Structure 1
Amino acid sequence: MQDVIIVGGGYAGMAAALQLVRARRRVLVIDAGQRRNRFASHSYGFLGQDGADPARIAATARDQLQTYPTLTWVEGQVIDAGGDKDAFHVTLDSGDRHPGRRLVFATGLADQLPPIAGLAERWGQTVFHCPYCHGYELNQGQIGVIATGPMSLHQAQLLPEWGQVTLFTNGVLTLEGADRADLAQRGVTIEETPLAQIEGQATVALADGRRQDFAGLFTAARSVPASPVAEQMGCALMETPMGVQIQTSQRKETSIPGAYACGDVARAPHSLSLAVADGAWAGAQLHHSLVWPQG
């Protein structure tokens, strides 16, 4: 019997685990190795690791965690979870079953990208979602925003802080007069011709044959939990402007007592820094529930 089973060994899951193993609790981390930022070669805006390879950050964190004797790390996919507080269990794709007193869902999110040819291949390299993570490196160059819905207006209003912006409405965003006036005041160019594909480094090919080169592109991808297990178990979900996430209390407890969630799958907006902080908070709050079970 583990004190805690953490489903997902990304940044939030490891941050939660660190608090718990330092309290000498028995912790099992189960990880499928599918970090959300695995497509990016550099991670920016994370204090002390600015510009580092996110894979190296994750590997270093795992190495440090595994020096604690109460940690067990299993590579695998959780396909089922059930039970109640103090008597949970998870089942892996290998068929192995593990019991635990508490659960943490730190499975991260999957990004639903717009169906534009060439976009997915450039995701995390020259097509991004977070200007705080990748805007500075574009050196105040030409920036394209590919609309996916209402959040794209917010992106187009914000990104002039990092360069000259063109907003591609792409048939999915209708701009009213006040919005157009606001964008004009910010120096944003509005392009309503549909996109055909993304080429080269960050070249937008339009349906009318024109091509425009950019230093980088941004799009507000809709996100959903990367694993269905929490929902299948009965955890309540909630809709946010960025997509679907697991609903939690301020203590990071889900709608199921004793089951917690943290990181991108349980908060918005999303970044490595915020995921780590959320995981650390969830780990501490979960530990409190083991110390004061009636609290």
Structure 2
Amino acid sequence: MTSSLRLLSLGAGVQSTALLLLACDGAIPKFDAAIFADTGWEPRAVYEHLGRLEEHAATYGIPVYRVSSGNIRDDALDPEHRFASMPLYVLNQDGSDGMARRQCTSEYKLKPIKAKARELLGYPHPTPVPKGVYAETAIGISLDEIGRARDSDVKYLRNVFPLLDLKWTRKDCERYLRSVGWGSTAKSACIGCPYHGNRQWRQIRDESPEEWADAVAFDAAIRNGSARANAAGKDLRGSMFLHRSRVPLGEAPIDRVTRAEWADRQGDLLDAVADAQLEEGDPDGCSPWACRSGEAVAT
């Protein structure tokens, strides 16, 4: 088999940023290109960080491509658009709860990344990629999340995991970023991502009031699920929410101080796994190649 390209799947979060900078520094082999899949609803801080990354990488001859399948926020509220389900929290009419199946990663992250990879290989859809031709795609999965590493589902991409080769954890990536002046790198996820923990929700509310208002408005707009299904007159089987408490985001208990937060303040070691998840949310933000999906829920 022949690898003609070395690509980076760039989420612009901690791990993938570390990989790009390591390649620029020559600590790992150079990438031919990095690909960022833009959902159209990233926080302003992520776009600013991405712009800085693009400029930095360009000086080392690494182009960063922004690709997109559309605006996830607008599409979700458009009754004419097929709804790519987000992992929304569901409260069913019988009082039970669940979580909607996560399709947004496949539609808004993987799909445009794969399309760009095919184009860079020289075989844009629908041209078949010849057998044995593939791009090596670096994924920012660190040692503490090794269980999320997986092979690509297409033969023209072969996933590799440089952070696993380095035996780096997320903390190692954070230390490295601080050492090279990129310590402000944040998690990359949509403004209204249901995987936000309370800390992220408070940060948005307290530091980005416009983005908070946007998320609160979106949360209210998706209460009845898919706009397209509603327009088609389909029966509502549950109410949708962005916050895991399954109450409107503007009323959600995001100021709760958890045991994990107290442990962080006091330096104690406590068994606070559940509270840590509530506080921190998904530690990896939006990870295209290793997402966590909720149970499928009909809406």
Taking structure 1 as the reference length, the TM-score comes to 0.31
Greater RCO between the two (CA within 8 Å, min separation 6)?
A: 2
**Structure 1 or 2: more helix by fraction:** 2
Taking structure 2 as the reference length, the TM-score comes to 0.31
Kindly name which structure, 1 or 2, has the bigger radius of gyration based on alpha carbons: 1
